């Protein structure tokens, strides 16, 4: 993977037609990769997902987020995993939560071209030791570790950057207004991917595509 941090924009639409239109718009605005949030789509099925991925024809992260990690998928856990498996071979990355049952997690990782093992805490920022342990566990399972946590104070955002500084192939985000700057400064620490919003943000503190790319370009130029 390139050392350049890719800007990923989530597709959070309810229908494939809306997702395709948004994908074309975000690509024109400069997205490097798109995240297909299958949990936002109304009544998704495997054939629908495969066709949508083919129609978009652009690098994609396939995600079907658990409800207790900020997602909206209403089906069973097996149905959630089946959709990820259907998308796995068709996409560049699959994002799956670290807390997923181990045998299901292994199935998805083994089927993926590249796996992102994610962890979310929308209430707090775990300690440096705890976050570092999360990253270690994620990398024992998959290719890239990802965590997104909520800061209560500015020092929490520095914890996130400290973890990134010491762990390559890690996506780390401090959410909300307080942590907004980490979405662009993570590029200075070699994060493979960061996330920006296309229309409505899918996580607290996301900046839009143009702003994200502009600031990252300025940071790279002055590095």
Confidence at residue 204, expressed as pLDDT on a 0 to 100 scale: 66
Max mean pLDDT among 62-71, 97-106, 197-206 falls in: 97-106
Whether the predicted pLDDT of 203 surpasses 70: no
Average pLDDT for the chain: 94
DSSP for 76-135, written as a single string: -HHHHHHHHHHHHTTSSEEEEETTS-HHHHHHHHHH-SSEEEEEEESS----HHHHHHHH
For 150-177, what is the mean pLDDT?
Answer: 97
Mean pLDDT of 145-150: 97
Asked if residue 40 lies in contact with residue 13, where contact means CB atoms within 8 angstroms, the answer is: yes
Domain boundaries, the chain: 6-202
What's the pLDDT at 223? 74
- pLDDT at residue 183 is higher than 90: yes
Confidence of residue 2 (pLDDT cuts 50, 70, 90): very low
Residue with tokens 């924009």, as numbered in its chain: 9
Which pLDDT score is estimated for 206?
80
What confidence score (pLDDT) does residue 201 get?
A: 59
Q: What pLDDT, on the 0 to 100 scale, is given for residue 202?
A: 62
* Catalytically annotated residue among 29, 46, 101, 146: 146
Residue 3 has pLDDT above 80, yes or no: no
The residue assigned the tokens 């800061």 is 151
- Range of lowest pLDDT (143-152, 180-189, 194-203): 194-203
| Predicted local confidence at residue 117, as pLDDT | 98
pLDDT in tens, 57-85: 999 999 999 888 889 998 999 999 999 99
CB atoms within 10 A of CB 201: 15
Half-sphere exposure of 51 (CA within 13 A, CB side): 8
At residue 1 the predicted structure's pLDDT band, cuts being 50, 70 and 90, is: very low
The model carries a pTM of 0.94
> Is 146 considered catalytic here?
yes
pLDDT band at 200 (very low <50, low <70, confident <90, very high): low
Question: What integer pLDDT is reported at residue 82 of this predicted model?
Answer: 98
**Residue of 120, 153, 213, 223 marked active site:** 120
Q: Is the pLDDT of residue 121 over 80?
A: yes
Confidence of residue 51 (pLDDT cuts 50, 70, 90): very high
Q: Check if 123 is active-site.
A: no
What CATH code is assigned to 6-202? 3.20.20.70
């Amino acid at each position: 993977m390139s050392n350049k941090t890719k800007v990923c924009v989530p597709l959070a639409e309810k229908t494939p037609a809306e997702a395709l239109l948004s994908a074309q718009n975000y690509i024109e605005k400069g997205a490097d990769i798109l995240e297909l949030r299958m949990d936002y789509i109304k009544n998704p099925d495997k054939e629908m997902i495969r066709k949508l991925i083919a129609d978009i024809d652009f690098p994609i992260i396939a995600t079907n987020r658990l409800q207790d990690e900020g997602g909206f998928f209403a089906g069973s856990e097996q149905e959630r995993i089946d959709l990820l498996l259907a998308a796995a071979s068709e996409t560049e990355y699959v994002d799956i939560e670290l807390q997923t049952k181990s045998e299901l997690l292994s199935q998805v990782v083994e089927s993926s071209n590249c796996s992102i093992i994610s962890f979310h805490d929308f209430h707090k920022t775990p300690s440096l030791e705890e976050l570092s342990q999360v990253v270690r566990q994620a990398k024992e399972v998959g290719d890239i570790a990802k965590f997104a946590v909520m800061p209560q104070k500015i020092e929490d955002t520095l914890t996130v950057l400290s973890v990134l500084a010491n762990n390559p192939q890690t996506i780390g985000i401090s959410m909300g207004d307080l942590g907004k700057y980490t979405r662009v400064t993570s590029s200075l620490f070699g994060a493979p991917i960061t996330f920006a919003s296309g229309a409505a943000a899918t996580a607290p503190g996301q900046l839009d595509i143009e702003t994200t790319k502009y600031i990252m370009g300025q940071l790279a130029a002055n590095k």
